[in-house]
Structure 1
Amino acid sequence: MFTLVILISGRGSNMQAILESLPRLPHVRVAAVISNRPDAAGLNTAQNAHIPTQVVDHTHYTARDDFDQALQQRIDEWQPNLVVLAGFMRILSREFVQHYAQRLINIHPSLLPAYKGLNTHQRVLDAGESRHGASVHFVTPELDDGPVILQAEVPVYSDDTAKNLAQRVLVEEHRLYPQAIRQLAARHKASS
C-alpha cells in the first residue's frame, strides 16, 4: 500500500480531488489529513470521507522550526510514503524539506520553472502569455524549484481575467494531482 499524508490550510479542493480519485487508485491510501489551521474547511471534507484529521496550529509556535518539528512528528506517526501539500500555505524549513526528500510534493499554478511564487495568474496575464497551467513537483528547499513530475497546460484568452484563468487552471490541478500520485505509487510498487 502506498500511504499519503495530505497537508492543507483551507478548503482543500485539491485534497478533495485526490480523495475522489481513490477508487481509481487501489494501492493508494490516505492515512491522515493535517492542517495548520483549526478552521480549515477541508478538515470536514476529510472527516466526512472517514480520513483521520489532525491540527498543528502554527499560531501556537513562536519559532518556525518548532512548528516544523511538531508537524514532522505528527506526519511521521503515519509513516507515509508521500507527503502531499494541497494548499498548505506555510513555507517549510530546509530541515523539514530534507527530511522528506523525494517524498514531499506540491502543486503550483504555473508551468514551472516560470512564475514561481504568488499571484501567478495575474502575472501571466500581465506578461501577455498565450499559455498557462499547473505543475506537480517535488519540494526542495528553494521555493517552487523542485523537479517537475507532471504538468498540464491551458490556453490564455485575450478576454481572460485572473479569476477565470485561475478557475481553468484549477480544473487541470484537480485532474493532474491524482495522476501524479498514481505515477509515483506505480514507481514505488515497481521498486518494491
Structure 2
Amino acid sequence: MTPPSEEQPAPPDRFVLTTRDGQRFTGADARIDIRFTERTAPADVELSFTTSDAAGGTWAALARPPVDFLRLRSLGVPIATGALGPGQAAVERRSAEGTSTLADSGELQLKLEDNKLVGEFSRTPAGFEARFAGPFVVTCSVPQSAGGPNPPSPEGGGSLVLVVDTNFETELCRPFAALAGQ
C-alpha cells in the first residue's frame, strides 16, 4: 500500500442544486460555521453555499439558523433581504452576464441527514424555487481565551480574537465533533 499523496481539495461539483425548471447548479461542500463570541452565550451559526451552472451563472445562499438547528438537524427559516438576523436566510441568483437578483420572500427548508445537507427554497418569487443536496463541512471558532490555540494578538490589541478549533477539543466545540465527522 502506498501512502496517500498530498491532500487534494474536494471536487467542486459534489453539492447539487436543481431549479424547478430543471437547471442544474453545482458547487463545493456547504459550510456550517459555528462561532462562540462569549463563553456563556449561545453560538452564532452561519450556513452557506455557492453553486454555479455551465453558463457561468451562480446561486448562493446564506442562512443564520438558531443554534437548535445543530441539535434538531432540521428547520425552516424565512427568506429576507438586508442584514440577516438569527432565523433568517438570503438567496441570490447571478446571471452569467453579472445581473444579480435577491429573493425577497419565501422559505428555506433545511435538513441534515446521512452526512448531507438537504433542502429546498419554496414559496419564493418566480425563478427561485429549487431543491439541493450535498455534503457539508463544519468549523467551530472560540475566543482565544476559551482555550484555543494562541495566535499572535492583532495590532492594537483589545479586539476579540476568535480561533478555529480544528479538532473540536475545546469545551465549547466538543458537542459538535460528531456533526463534523470527528
TM tier, shorter chain? under 0.3
Which structure carries more strand by proportion? 2
Compare CA radii of gyration and give the structure with the larger one. 2
TM score, norm. by length of structure 2: 0.25
More helix by share: 1
